[in-house]
Structure 1
Protein backbone atom coordinates (compact mmCIF):
# COMPACT_ATOMS: atom_id res chain seq x y z
CA UNK A 1 0.00 0.00 0.00
CA UNK A 2 1.27 3.47 -0.90
CA UNK A 3 2.05 5.74 2.04
CA UNK A 4 -0.07 8.80 2.77
CA UNK A 5 1.68 12.06 3.59
CA UNK A 6 0.24 14.33 6.28
CA UNK A 7 -1.07 16.66 3.56
CA UNK A 8 -2.86 13.73 1.93
CA UNK A 9 -4.36 12.66 5.24
CA UNK A 10 -5.63 16.22 5.71
CA UNK A 11 -7.42 15.98 2.36
CA UNK A 12 -9.20 12.84 3.59
CA UNK A 13 -10.45 14.74 6.64
CA UNK A 14 -12.37 17.19 4.42
CA UNK A 15 -15.93 16.80 3.18
CA UNK A 16 -16.28 13.37 1.56
CA UNK A 17 -19.48 11.89 0.20
CA UNK A 18 -20.25 8.69 -1.67
CA UNK A 19 -23.64 7.66 -3.01
CA UNK A 20 -23.19 3.90 -2.95
CA UNK A 21 -21.10 1.16 -1.39
CA UNK A 22 -19.23 -0.85 -4.03
CA UNK A 23 -18.55 -4.53 -3.38
CA UNK A 24 -15.62 -5.83 -5.48
CA UNK A 25 -16.33 -8.75 -7.78
CA UNK A 26 -14.25 -11.15 -5.70
CA UNK A 27 -17.12 -11.12 -3.17
CA UNK A 28 -20.51 -12.74 -3.48
CA UNK A 29 -23.05 -10.05 -4.14
CA UNK A 30 -26.70 -9.37 -3.43
CA UNK A 31 -29.06 -8.08 -6.10
CA UNK A 32 -28.46 -4.54 -4.78
CA UNK A 33 -24.67 -5.00 -4.97
CA UNK A 34 -25.06 -6.07 -8.60
CA UNK A 35 -27.20 -3.00 -9.32
CA UNK A 36 -24.46 -0.75 -7.96
CA UNK A 37 -21.74 -2.61 -9.86
CA UNK A 38 -23.64 -2.31 -13.14
CA UNK A 39 -24.32 1.40 -12.57
CA UNK A 40 -20.63 2.10 -11.83
CA UNK A 41 -19.51 0.06 -14.84
CA UNK A 42 -22.04 1.80 -17.09
CA UNK A 43 -20.83 5.18 -15.79
CA UNK A 44 -17.22 4.27 -16.55
CA UNK A 45 -18.32 3.42 -20.11
CA UNK A 46 -20.11 6.78 -20.48
CA UNK A 47 -23.54 5.15 -20.66
CA UNK A 48 -25.31 6.92 -17.80
CA UNK A 49 -23.62 10.32 -17.62
CA UNK A 50 -26.86 12.28 -17.37
CA UNK A 51 -28.46 10.19 -14.60
CA UNK A 52 -25.20 10.23 -12.61
CA UNK A 53 -24.90 13.98 -13.15
CA UNK A 54 -28.43 14.53 -11.87
CA UNK A 55 -27.60 12.60 -8.71
CA UNK A 56 -24.34 14.50 -8.13
CA UNK A 57 -25.78 17.94 -8.95
CA UNK A 58 -28.69 17.40 -6.59
CA UNK A 59 -26.29 16.59 -3.74
CA UNK A 60 -24.11 19.60 -4.58
CA UNK A 61 -27.16 21.88 -4.41
CA UNK A 62 -28.27 20.30 -1.11
CA UNK A 63 -24.81 20.50 0.44
CA UNK A 64 -23.58 23.86 -0.86
CA UNK A 65 -26.68 25.78 -1.93
CA UNK A 66 -26.02 28.99 -3.86
CA UNK A 67 -22.30 28.84 -2.98
CA UNK A 68 -22.02 26.05 -5.56
CA UNK A 69 -21.63 28.79 -8.17
CA UNK A 70 -18.40 29.85 -6.40
CA UNK A 71 -16.74 26.44 -6.83
CA UNK A 72 -15.11 24.47 -9.61
CA UNK A 73 -16.24 20.89 -10.17
CA UNK A 74 -13.38 18.74 -11.44
CA UNK A 75 -12.99 15.00 -12.02
CA UNK A 76 -9.89 12.94 -11.34
CA UNK A 77 -8.87 11.92 -14.86
CA UNK A 78 -9.42 8.41 -16.19
CA UNK A 79 -6.53 6.29 -17.43
CA UNK A 80 -6.37 7.89 -20.90
CA UNK A 81 -7.67 11.01 -22.65
CA UNK A 82 -10.11 8.87 -24.65
CA UNK A 83 -11.53 7.20 -21.53
CA UNK A 84 -11.55 10.54 -19.74
CA UNK A 85 -13.63 12.09 -22.50
CA UNK A 86 -16.06 9.15 -22.61
CA UNK A 87 -16.49 9.14 -18.85
CA UNK A 88 -16.39 12.80 -17.86
CA UNK A 89 -17.04 15.27 -20.69
CA UNK A 90 -20.85 15.08 -20.82
CA UNK A 91 -21.08 14.25 -17.12
CA UNK A 92 -19.09 17.34 -16.07
CA UNK A 93 -21.06 19.61 -18.39
CA UNK A 94 -24.33 18.35 -16.96
CA UNK A 95 -23.20 18.55 -13.31
CA UNK A 96 -22.11 22.15 -13.86
CA UNK A 97 -25.31 23.06 -15.69
CA UNK A 98 -27.57 21.54 -13.03
CA UNK A 99 -25.63 22.63 -9.93
CA UNK A 100 -24.36 26.04 -11.00
CA UNK A 101 -20.75 25.03 -10.33
CA UNK A 102 -17.98 25.95 -12.78
CA UNK A 103 -16.98 23.06 -15.04
CA UNK A 104 -13.26 22.33 -14.66
CA UNK A 105 -13.20 19.54 -17.27
CA UNK A 106 -11.45 21.50 -20.03
CA UNK A 107 -8.73 22.70 -17.65
CA UNK A 108 -7.19 19.24 -17.24
CA UNK A 109 -5.93 17.01 -20.05
CA UNK A 110 -4.35 13.58 -20.13
CA UNK A 111 -1.39 12.47 -22.24
CA UNK A 112 -0.33 8.87 -22.52
CA UNK A 113 -2.07 6.01 -20.79
CA UNK A 114 -1.80 4.06 -17.59
CA UNK A 115 -3.49 0.83 -16.66
CA UNK A 116 -6.43 1.28 -14.37
CA UNK A 117 -5.69 0.10 -10.83
CA UNK A 118 -7.81 -3.04 -11.16
CA UNK A 119 -5.81 -3.97 -14.27
CA UNK A 120 -2.37 -3.37 -12.77
CA UNK A 121 -2.85 -6.08 -10.15
CA UNK A 122 -3.09 -8.71 -12.88
CA UNK A 123 0.65 -8.74 -13.29
CA UNK A 124 0.67 -6.92 -16.63
CA UNK A 125 3.71 -4.78 -17.21
CA UNK A 126 3.59 -1.54 -19.13
CA UNK A 127 6.13 1.13 -19.83
CA UNK A 128 3.54 3.75 -20.75
CA UNK A 129 3.41 6.92 -18.71
CA UNK A 130 0.39 9.08 -18.03
CA UNK A 131 0.88 12.82 -17.77
CA UNK A 132 -1.90 15.01 -16.42
CA UNK A 133 -1.72 18.61 -17.60
CA UNK A 134 -3.35 21.26 -15.42
CA UNK A 135 -4.28 24.81 -16.34
CA UNK A 136 -2.51 26.06 -13.21
CA UNK A 137 -3.63 29.68 -13.57
CA UNK A 138 -7.25 28.60 -13.85
CA UNK A 139 -7.15 26.72 -10.52
CA UNK A 140 -5.31 29.44 -8.60
CA UNK A 141 -7.52 30.89 -5.82
CA UNK A 142 -10.48 28.68 -6.76
CA UNK A 143 -12.60 26.55 -4.41
CA UNK A 144 -12.62 23.07 -5.92
CA UNK A 145 -14.84 20.04 -5.42
CA UNK A 146 -13.12 16.88 -6.64
CA UNK A 147 -15.06 13.95 -8.12
CA UNK A 148 -14.07 10.36 -8.80
CA UNK A 149 -16.21 7.38 -9.75
CA UNK A 150 -14.95 5.03 -7.03
CA UNK A 151 -12.89 5.72 -3.92
CA UNK A 152 -11.10 2.83 -2.30
CA UNK A 153 -8.57 4.04 0.23
CA UNK A 154 -8.50 7.66 -0.95
CA UNK A 155 -4.92 7.77 -2.21
CA UNK A 156 -5.74 9.01 -5.74
CA UNK A 157 -8.19 11.59 -4.40
CA UNK A 158 -5.75 12.89 -1.77
CA UNK A 159 -2.81 13.06 -4.17
CA UNK A 160 -4.91 14.84 -6.80
CA UNK A 161 -6.31 17.31 -4.23
CA UNK A 162 -2.81 18.09 -2.92
CA UNK A 163 -1.66 18.70 -6.48
CA UNK A 164 -4.50 21.17 -7.08
CA UNK A 165 -3.64 22.98 -3.86
CA UNK A 166 -0.01 23.28 -4.97
CA UNK A 167 -1.35 25.66 -7.66
CA UNK A 168 -3.19 27.75 -5.07
CA UNK A 169 -6.59 26.07 -5.26
CA UNK A 170 -8.59 25.36 -2.12
CA UNK A 171 -10.05 21.85 -2.27
CA UNK A 172 -13.25 21.72 -0.25
CA UNK A 173 -13.63 17.95 -0.50
CA UNK A 174 -14.59 15.05 -2.67
CA UNK A 175 -17.66 13.29 -4.06
CA UNK A 176 -17.69 9.74 -5.33
CA UNK A 177 -20.30 7.54 -6.97
CA UNK A 178 -19.21 4.67 -4.80
CA UNK A 179 -16.85 3.64 -2.03
CA UNK A 180 -15.22 0.21 -2.11
CA UNK A 181 -16.23 -2.06 0.74
CA UNK A 182 -13.70 -4.38 2.32
CA UNK A 183 -15.42 -7.52 3.59
Structure 2
Protein backbone atom coordinates (compact mmCIF):
# COMPACT_ATOMS: atom_id res chain seq x y z
CA UNK A 1 0.00 0.00 0.00
CA UNK A 2 1.28 3.41 -0.98
CA UNK A 3 1.30 6.31 1.52
CA UNK A 4 1.75 9.89 0.43
CA UNK A 5 1.61 13.36 2.03
CA UNK A 6 1.01 16.46 -0.07
CA UNK A 7 2.59 19.07 2.23
CA UNK A 8 4.70 19.56 5.33
CA UNK A 9 2.78 20.69 8.40
CA UNK A 10 4.58 22.83 10.96
CA UNK A 11 3.04 22.70 14.47
CA UNK A 12 2.14 26.08 15.97
CA UNK A 13 4.99 25.88 18.47
CA UNK A 14 7.53 25.79 15.60
CA UNK A 15 5.94 28.24 13.17
CA UNK A 16 8.43 31.00 13.98
CA UNK A 17 11.17 28.84 12.42
CA UNK A 18 9.14 28.11 9.28
CA UNK A 19 9.30 29.86 5.94
CA UNK A 20 6.44 32.09 4.83
CA UNK A 21 5.20 29.34 2.47
CA UNK A 22 5.25 26.75 5.27
CA UNK A 23 3.37 29.12 7.58
CA UNK A 24 0.75 29.68 4.89
CA UNK A 25 0.27 25.93 4.29
CA UNK A 26 0.00 25.27 8.03
CA UNK A 27 -2.59 28.06 8.35
CA UNK A 28 -4.65 26.55 5.51
CA UNK A 29 -4.46 23.06 7.03
CA UNK A 30 -5.66 24.39 10.38
CA UNK A 31 -8.49 26.20 8.58
CA UNK A 32 -9.42 22.91 6.92
CA UNK A 33 -9.40 21.11 10.28
CA UNK A 34 -11.76 23.82 11.60
CA UNK A 35 -14.16 23.06 8.74
CA UNK A 36 -13.95 26.43 7.01
CA UNK A 37 -15.43 26.17 3.51
CA UNK A 38 -12.69 28.07 1.69
CA UNK A 39 -10.04 25.69 3.08
CA UNK A 40 -12.23 22.64 2.45
CA UNK A 41 -12.39 23.63 -1.23
CA UNK A 42 -8.63 24.27 -1.24
CA UNK A 43 -7.89 20.85 0.28
CA UNK A 44 -10.27 19.05 -2.10
CA UNK A 45 -8.68 20.69 -5.13
CA UNK A 46 -5.14 19.91 -3.90
CA UNK A 47 -6.06 16.26 -3.35
CA UNK A 48 -7.70 16.02 -6.77
CA UNK A 49 -4.70 17.66 -8.39
CA UNK A 50 -2.44 15.05 -6.78
CA UNK A 51 -4.55 12.07 -7.92
CA UNK A 52 -5.73 13.43 -11.28
CA UNK A 53 -3.82 10.90 -13.38
CA UNK A 54 -5.17 7.89 -11.47
CA UNK A 55 -8.27 5.99 -12.60
CA UNK A 56 -10.30 5.91 -9.40
CA UNK A 57 -13.77 5.25 -10.79
CA UNK A 58 -14.01 1.89 -8.99
CA UNK A 59 -12.45 3.20 -5.76
CA UNK A 60 -14.18 4.31 -2.55
CA UNK A 61 -12.95 7.39 -0.69
CA UNK A 62 -12.86 7.00 3.10
CA UNK A 63 -11.77 9.70 5.54
CA UNK A 64 -10.11 8.69 8.80
CA UNK A 65 -12.50 9.73 11.60
CA UNK A 66 -11.90 12.90 13.60
CA UNK A 67 -12.06 12.90 17.40
CA UNK A 68 -15.78 13.74 17.70
CA UNK A 69 -18.88 13.24 15.56
CA UNK A 70 -19.19 17.01 15.16
CA UNK A 71 -15.56 17.43 14.04
CA UNK A 72 -15.81 14.44 11.72
CA UNK A 73 -18.87 15.78 9.90
CA UNK A 74 -17.63 19.39 9.87
CA UNK A 75 -14.22 18.42 8.49
CA UNK A 76 -14.94 15.55 6.13
CA UNK A 77 -18.51 15.52 4.79
CA UNK A 78 -18.26 18.40 2.29
CA UNK A 79 -14.63 17.54 1.52
CA UNK A 80 -15.56 13.96 0.58
CA UNK A 81 -18.45 15.17 -1.59
CA UNK A 82 -16.17 17.59 -3.47
CA UNK A 83 -13.34 15.11 -3.99
CA UNK A 84 -15.72 12.41 -5.21
CA UNK A 85 -17.49 14.80 -7.58
CA UNK A 86 -14.17 15.97 -9.03
CA UNK A 87 -12.41 12.59 -9.18
CA UNK A 88 -15.21 10.12 -9.97
CA UNK A 89 -14.61 8.10 -6.78
CA UNK A 90 -17.43 6.64 -4.70
CA UNK A 91 -18.08 8.45 -1.44
CA UNK A 92 -17.72 6.17 1.59
CA UNK A 93 -18.37 8.93 4.14
CA UNK A 94 -21.78 7.61 5.21
CA UNK A 95 -20.46 4.04 5.48
CA UNK A 96 -18.12 4.85 8.39
CA UNK A 97 -20.00 6.04 11.47
CA UNK A 98 -18.35 7.77 14.43
CA UNK A 99 -20.00 7.16 17.79
CA UNK A 100 -19.03 9.14 20.84
CA UNK A 101 -15.75 10.96 21.05
CA UNK A 102 -12.12 10.27 21.82
CA UNK A 103 -9.20 12.26 23.12
CA UNK A 104 -7.25 14.17 20.52
CA UNK A 105 -3.94 12.36 20.19
CA UNK A 106 -1.89 15.44 19.30
CA UNK A 107 -3.03 17.10 22.53
CA UNK A 108 -2.94 14.19 24.98
CA UNK A 109 -0.37 11.88 23.39
CA UNK A 110 -2.84 9.00 23.88
CA UNK A 111 -3.79 7.13 20.74
CA UNK A 112 -7.28 6.05 21.72
CA UNK A 113 -8.28 5.33 18.11
CA UNK A 114 -5.66 2.58 18.07
CA UNK A 115 -6.90 0.78 21.17
CA UNK A 116 -10.66 1.44 21.05
CA UNK A 117 -11.43 1.61 17.35
CA UNK A 118 -14.31 -0.88 17.53
CA UNK A 119 -15.98 1.16 20.29
CA UNK A 120 -15.52 4.43 18.49
CA UNK A 121 -16.01 3.67 14.76
CA UNK A 122 -18.56 1.48 13.00
CA UNK A 123 -17.56 0.32 9.51
CA UNK A 124 -20.18 -1.08 7.11
CA UNK A 125 -18.51 -4.44 6.42
CA UNK A 126 -21.06 -5.48 3.79
CA UNK A 127 -20.46 -2.33 1.77
CA UNK A 128 -16.65 -2.41 1.90
CA UNK A 129 -16.10 -6.14 1.38
CA UNK A 130 -13.92 -6.55 -1.73
CA UNK A 131 -13.87 -2.85 -2.66
CA UNK A 132 -10.79 -0.78 -3.46
CA UNK A 133 -10.38 2.03 -0.94
CA UNK A 134 -8.36 5.23 -0.81
CA UNK A 135 -8.01 6.44 2.79
CA UNK A 136 -7.47 10.15 3.50
CA UNK A 137 -6.44 11.93 6.68
CA UNK A 138 -5.49 15.50 7.39
CA UNK A 139 -2.15 15.26 9.23
CA UNK A 140 0.27 12.34 9.56
CA UNK A 141 2.41 12.59 12.68
CA UNK A 142 3.22 9.13 14.07
CA UNK A 143 0.96 7.08 11.81
CA UNK A 144 -0.62 5.17 14.70
CA UNK A 145 -4.18 6.35 14.05
CA UNK A 146 -3.96 5.73 10.32
CA UNK A 147 -2.50 2.24 10.79
CA UNK A 148 -5.26 1.33 13.25
CA UNK A 149 -7.99 2.61 10.93
CA UNK A 150 -6.49 0.96 7.85
CA UNK A 151 -6.29 -2.31 9.82
CA UNK A 152 -9.96 -1.98 10.73
CA UNK A 153 -10.87 -1.30 7.09
CA UNK A 154 -8.92 -4.35 5.96
CA UNK A 155 -10.60 -6.44 8.67
CA UNK A 156 -13.92 -5.24 7.22
CA UNK A 157 -12.86 -6.71 3.87
CA UNK A 158 -11.72 -3.52 2.12
CA UNK A 159 -8.74 -3.55 -0.22
CA UNK A 160 -6.92 -0.39 0.93
CA UNK A 161 -4.87 0.73 -2.06
CA UNK A 162 -3.48 4.00 -0.78
CA UNK A 163 -3.33 6.32 2.21
CA UNK A 164 -3.17 9.99 1.32
CA UNK A 165 -2.44 12.72 3.87
CA UNK A 166 -2.94 16.41 3.38
CA UNK A 167 0.29 16.97 5.33
CA UNK A 168 3.02 15.27 7.33
CA UNK A 169 4.21 16.87 10.54
CA UNK A 170 7.69 18.29 10.20
CA UNK A 171 9.53 18.51 13.48
CA UNK A 172 12.46 20.79 14.09
CA UNK A 173 15.41 19.58 16.15
CA UNK A 174 16.80 21.88 18.76
CA UNK A 175 20.12 23.38 17.83
CA UNK A 176 22.82 23.40 20.48
Q: TM-score range by the shorter chain?
A: 0.7 to 0.9
Question: 1:17-166 alignment to 2 at 5 Å?
Answer: 17-27=4-14, 28-47=17-36, 48-62=39-53, 64-65=54-55, 68-121=56-109, 131-166=120-155
Which segments of structure 1 move beyond 3 Å, counting only runs of 4 or more? none
Cα distance in 1 for residues equivalent to 2:145 and 2:103: 14
Cα distance in 1 for residues equivalent to 2:44 and 2:100: 27
Specify every segment of 5 or more residues in structure 2 that has no aligned partner in the other structure, as ranges.
Answer: 111-116
- For the aligned residues, what is the CA RMSD? 1.7
- Residue 133 of structure 1: CA displacement? 1.0
Specify every segment of 5 or more residues in structure 1 that has no aligned partner in the other structure, as ranges.
Answer: 1-13, 123-128
1:18-74: per-residue Cα shift (whole Å, max 9, x none)? 111112223222212211111110000111212211111222222x23xx0110010
> What is the aligned partner in structure 2 of residue 10 from structure 1?
none
- Kept in 2, the 8 Å contact 1:76–1:146? The answer is yes
- Counting matched residue pairs gives 161
Normalized against structure 2, the TM-score is what? 0.86
- Residue 121 of structure 1: CA displacement? 4.1
Cα distance in 2 for residues equivalent to 1:55 and 1:33: 15
Give 3-state SS (helix, strand or coil) of 1:26's partner: helix
Normalized against structure 1, the TM-score is what? 0.83
- Kept in 2, the 8 Å contact 1:22–1:180? The answer is yes
- Kept in 2, the 8 Å contact 1:58–1:99? The answer is no
